[in-house]
A and B are shown apart, each in its own frame.
Chain A
Amino acid sequence: KNEVEQSPQNLTAQEGEFITINCSYSVGISALHWLQQHPGGGIVSLFMLSSGKKKHGRLIATINIQEKHSSLHITASHPRDSAVYICAAKIQGAQKLVFGQGTRLTINP
Chain B
Amino acid sequence: DVKVTQSSRYLVKRTGEKVFLECVQDMDHENMFWYRQDPGLGLRLIYFSYDVKMKEKGDIPEGYSVSREKKERFSLILESASTNQTSMYLCASSLAGYNQPQHFGDGTRLSIL
Contact = CB atoms under 8 A, between A and B. Distances in A.
**A, B assembled together:** yes
Interface of A: 30-31, 33, 35, 40-45, 48, 50, 86, 88, 90, 95-97, 99-102
Given A41-B109, A42-B107, A96 B48 contact: yes
Main SS of the interface on chain B? Answer: strand
B10 to A, nearest CB: 10
Contacts of A100: 42
Nearest to B35: A99
B42 A30 contact: no
B106 A44 contact: no
Contacts, number: 52
A95 B48 contact: yes
B88 interface: yes
Contacts of B92: 43
Interface of B: 9, 31, 40-45, 48, 50, 58, 88, 90, 92, 94, 98-99, 101-107, 109
A50 B99 contact: yes
Nearest to A46: B101
Nearest to A44: B104
5 contacts: A33-B101, A41-B90, A43-B92, A95-B48, A99-B44
B106 A86 contact: no
Contacts of B43: 86, 88, 97, 99
B99 A42 contact: no
